[in-house]
Amino acid sequence: MSVTDEIKARLDIVDVISETVVLKKSGRNYTGFCPFHSNTRTPSFVVFPETQTWRCFGACADGGDMFSFVMKREGYSFKETLEALSKRAGVQLKSATPHQAEQDEQRHKLLELNAAAAAYFHNLLAGSPAATDTRTYLAEREIRPETIATFQLGYALDEWEALKSHFLERGYSAEELLAAGLLVERDDKPGYDRFRNRLIIPIRDTRGRVIGFGARALAADQMPKYLNSPQTVLFDKSNTLYGLDLARKHIRQTDEAVIVEGYMDVIQAHQREARNVVAQMGTALTEQQLKRIAPLANKIILALDADTAGNAATVRSLSVARQTLPKKYRATSTSRGIEVESHIEQEIYIAALPIGQDPDDILKEGLEVWQSLIDQAIPSLDYYETLIINNADLATPQGKSFVVRELVPVYREIKDNVEKTARVQRLARKIGLDERLLLAELKGGQPPSRASNRRRAPTPPPPEHPFPSESPEESSTVAFPDSEPSGLGLEDYCLSLILANPTALATANEVLEKEGVPGLTANDLKRGDNRDIFKALQLWAALETPKIEALVEMVDEVLERRLASLASQWHRRPSPPLEDVNQDLSTAILRLRLQKLNEQLGELKFLLREAEENEDLEHARRYRETIREYSRERKSLHDTRDALSLMGKRRTEANQFGQVV
């Protein structure tokens, strides 16, 4: 039995969901208000104990297993959900190798030590006479006691070995304290306390565990103003966003992530109810930080103070960084085959704060004032253009030359040719230069041709297998090009098709969208682990050359076995023609939708029968209405499926005809 199944067997979905949703028993099932869309009148959320599934029959129309519920509720990845639920179920997660087990053990110890250190600093802030000034400072900045508790703010004594002797007395070794970054190394040996006379801000991972500390100077002459934990086994500041553990849920809800510059800004923002706010870690925004936040929201806004926002180098780096965000791909069939065009789906925006104001100053005026500033944020590259143009005297040739010199290299890095050309044309008009001149300048910096972002559809990846060995029961085979065999679910089948043919996803979605049917999304999948694999596949399939190694890096290691089993479906098999795969995937997506609709209809009919038995007329009426609505949708999906299969048949016949001739 897999760990996932073991957890499902030990926990009851009703208990897990009841933690946050008030469920009322209704016949054999439970109903409540859906936690994922605002609804207060009629409970549209149903939990089915028999199948251990949940479903919303309201606006979000989502549903799935225990894992997908917790992932959605907490904004967790599958791995984080697995860790949380396994703890609850008392199921031990196995470490893959002895080396990994050792690492896990070390991490575990350091986490424990960090938690103890956070509590130690927090207690000092609360009770130590030495912390009086710090308490006054926090009071002056209007940080409330409950905020101090939520963020577990603390105080480090103005002594060289206060923390060291405290923890040595409690059985920790100096080496452990050093490994946690709490001591400074001296002559290759653990030395003295790293943090002295500072306000301590514990930094947490997405699961809320303390992984490091930020420390603000309290004396005027103390340098640096902010001191962070060094890089440790747990703490990598380029991969961490401060406050993400608390902000994540709100970022998902608002589909908007606001990044500010300092820890205190986050603390104050949350206190004033701007809860989708996180902070970069004292450095420029890194690619890893962007990747961490990109899956949570489409809109990423940097609220920069006037100085930073006016700094061309910073803004320029953001304009380049936006290239790493996921792109939406559009596939088109041409006489030369399938071609794919990219469009940036996500964007980094910049909101410049008024000179001399920090986020708290604005939030003091009210949440609406803050939000309107955020709403007015400008895409980073537009912002950069304006910054450069405003700094140049366009009346002079030198001014024009300056603009071209600054902007053209940035344009050159834009992968999307349509956007690239459009921007150059617009700039030419703005500064009064010949467009052809600028286009030539654009080409000047790189070898001719090959600069195109249009690319031929890559062939299916070679059968390389950098995966751990798959378990025998998982490696059932697929008979291609017929439909998936029993044993391999439709969800798995779709994923395995995309895995074998990364471009098929864009093409299949395009075909469906043309028929008025939305493309495949993570919400179509019931299993939580499949949702995470699909999200990784989406990003991976959009890469220039989707290599299987890249995919392995994109998924959590806990999903590698599932990935291996999906990949094994195509192992040792000649790759089918791409056209067949595209057709197969669009049909499979349709069948997945039909399957879901049929399940929903089954559930609804069951609910209707119960409501009728209980003479609950209001509910019965509503269920009947929804059944009618879903039946109409099913009819139209059937029509689309028929139309697509007809197209497929014609193509096959045409191919056969071609071969005969």
Output 60 or 394, the one with its CB closest to Zn ion: 60
As given in the structure block, the two tokens for residue 368 are 């609406």
Tell me if 503 sits within 8 A of 458, measured CB to CB: yes
Closest approach of Cβ 603 to Zn ion, in Å?
14
Tell me if 387 sits within 8 A of 356, measured CB to CB: no
Binding piece for Zn ion, criterion CB under 5 A, among 54-62, 216-224, 384-392, 597-605: 54-62
- Looking at residue 353, the DSSP 8-state letter turns out to be P
Output 34 or 352, the one with its CB closest to Zn ion: 34
Binding status of residue 47 toward Zn ion by CB under 5 A: no
Is 192 in a helix, a strand, or coil?
strand
Residues 345 and 519: their CA atoms lie apart, in Å, by 15
Binding status of residue 36 toward Zn ion by CB under 5 A: yes
| Terminal Cα distance for the chain, rounded | 54
> 412: exposed, middle or buried (C-beta count within 10 Å: 0-12, 13-18, 19+)?
middle
Closest approach of Cβ 61 to Zn ion, in Å?
7
Binding status of residue 21 toward Zn ion by CB under 5 A: no
Residues 197 and 210: their CA atoms lie apart, in Å, by 20
Report the b/e string of 124-147 with b at 16+ CB within 10 A: bbeeeebbeebbeebeeeebeeeb
As given in the structure block, the two tokens for residue 479 are 């008979």
Q: Pick from 565, 403, 587, 427: which is nearest to 507 by CA? A: 587
Output 37 or 291, the one with its CB closest to Zn ion: 37
Binding piece for Zn ion, criterion CB under 5 A, among 59-67, 238-246, 441-449, 584-592: 59-67
Binding piece for Zn ion, criterion CB under 5 A, among 34-42, 161-169, 248-256, 415-423: 34-42
Closest approach of Cβ 600 to Zn ion, in Å?
13
Closest approach of Cβ 175 to Zn ion, in Å?
51
Is 190 in a helix, a strand, or coil?
strand
Binding status of residue 60 toward Zn ion by CB under 5 A: yes
Binding status of residue 17 toward Zn ion by CB under 5 A: no
Residue choice 58, 75, 190, 502 for contact with Zn ion (CB under 5 A): 58
Binding status of residue 56 toward Zn ion by CB under 5 A: yes
As given in the structure block, the two tokens for residue 247 are 């902000």
Binding status of residue 34 toward Zn ion by CB under 5 A: yes
Residue entry with tokens 């197969």: 584
Binding status of residue 259 toward Zn ion by CB under 5 A: no
Closest approach of Cβ 64 to Zn ion, in Å?
12
Residues 428 and 250: their CA atoms lie apart, in Å, by 41
Closest approach of Cβ 43 to Zn ion, in Å?
10
Backbone angles phi, psi at 607, to 5 degrees: -65, -40
Output 35 or 282, the one with its CB closest to Zn ion: 35
Residue choice 37, 107, 455, 571 for contact with Zn ion (CB under 5 A): 37
Output 70 or 325, the one with its CB closest to Zn ion: 70
Q: Pick from 8, 48, 54, 55: which is nearest to 28 by CA? A: 48
Output 327 or 531, the one with its CB closest to Zn ion: 531
Residues 233 and 51: their CA atoms lie apart, in Å, by 41
Element (H, E) at 184: strand 183-186
Binding status of residue 135 toward Zn ion by CB under 5 A: no
Closest approach of Cβ 112 to Zn ion, in Å?
39
Output 60 or 126, the one with its CB closest to Zn ion: 60
Output 34 or 564, the one with its CB closest to Zn ion: 34
Binding status of residue 67 toward Zn ion by CB under 5 A: no
Closest approach of Cβ 59 to Zn ion, in Å?
5
Residues lying near Zn ion in the complex (CB under 5 A) are found at: 34, 36-37, 56, 58, 60
